[in-house]
Amino acid sequence: MHLTSIDSLSDDQIERVLSEGLRWFDYNRQRRRNDHRLDGLTVINAFFENSTRTLLSFEIAANRLGAQVVTMQVEHSSIKKGETLDDTARTLNAMRPDALVIRHGTGGTPSEVAALMDCPVINAGDGTGEHPTQALLDAATLRRHFGRIEGLKVAICGDIRHSRVARSNRKLLERLGAEVRLAGPPSLLPEDADATDIDSAVAGADAVMMLRIQRERLADDLGDLPGEFLENYGLTAARFASAAPQAVIMHPGPINRGVEIEGALADDPERSLITRQVEMGVAVRMAVLDLLTADRRD
């Protein structure tokens, strides 16, 4: 089994990852951790795009469960000598890993690599495609906070067009019964998006998830002046005041403070779940590694 998209998972598997993720979340806060169920397995991380949260949380998740973790140094690999991605995948496969976690700038790469591998492949973000473990950790964070996901109004705002996080979150949250509202500048919305303006999206929302402008994926700069994006499309205190009374703020990170979100809102100890999302990332990735490697341990 591979995890290349939210569509890779059945409803039962999603439920298992969320409930086990919440269990691992509590487990990770304990001083003593002695569950080494991945003992003897090898996990390879291959990140062809930069990462702090996803890479480190996969490393910690696999280590915490007792696996041996190897992170490929892409910049120092034979990719730089012209080796193709397919040949790289065949090479990694020959080393008999038990799971491969891959991030790549081109959409669809994890599925192409999965076809060449004998072990589970986990998509850690593919271009503007998907980021399924981010959506799973976001859903687990919402469930932990609200006790449910069904019926929640979740506004996802910012650069929707280039966001693999938005794509995976929309699929997952709608499957779980949430109302998902998308909002952003017209040039940063996908053509098929049923989108609204940010003020309408935030009004009455239970959760507001802000997204970074992915300037590295823009053909042309937006041409916005400092502060202009925040004023027109970002989360300000004045805008957030129209959300539901107990609304929370989320962001997958990295944050561009003062661009898509006011820094003080990101740091709000009562309302911001941003560091909680990071903490949940380790827990949910433990649940994902456990699920995908289960038949290798029987």
- Under the rule (CB under 6 A), what is the footprint of ligand CP? 51-54, 125, 134, 252-254
Closer residue to ligand CP (CB): 106 or 200: 106
* Helices 53-64 and 274-297, packing angle to 10 deg: 50
Q: Are strands 207-210 and 195-196 parallel, antiparallel or unpaired?
A: unpaired
CA distance 66 to 60: 10
Q: How far is the CB of 212 from ligand CP (least distance, A)?
A: 9
Supply the minimum distance, in Å, between the C-beta of residue 47 and ligand CP.
Answer: 8
Residue 33: CB atoms within 10 Å: 12
Q: Which is nearer to ligand CP, 53 or 175 (CB)?
A: 53
Q: What's the min distance (Å) between Cβ of 123 and ligand CP?
A: 11
Q: For residues 147 and 142, give the distance between their C-alpha atoms in angstroms, rounded to a whole number.
A: 8
Closer residue to ligand CP (CB): 125 or 132: 125
Judged by beta carbon, residue 108 or residue 253, the one nearer ligand CP is 253
Surface-to-core class of residue 52, CB atoms within 10 Å of its CB (0-12 exposed, 13-18 middle, 19+ buried): exposed
Of 190 and 253, the one with the shorter C-beta distance to ligand CP is 253
Of 21 and 252, the one with the shorter C-beta distance to ligand CP is 252
Q: How many helices (H) and strands (E) does the chain have?
A: 11, 9
Q: What is the DSSP string of 60-127?
A: HHHHHTT-EEEEE-GGGSGGGGT--HHHHHHHHHHT--SEEEEEESSTTHHHHHHTT-SS-EEEEEET
Please state the closest distance from residue 232 (CB atom) to ligand CP, in A. 24
| Min dist. Cβ of residue 197 to ligand CP (A) | 25
Instruction: Name the minimum Å distance from CB 209 to ligand CP.
Output: 11
In total, the chain counts a number of residues equal to 298
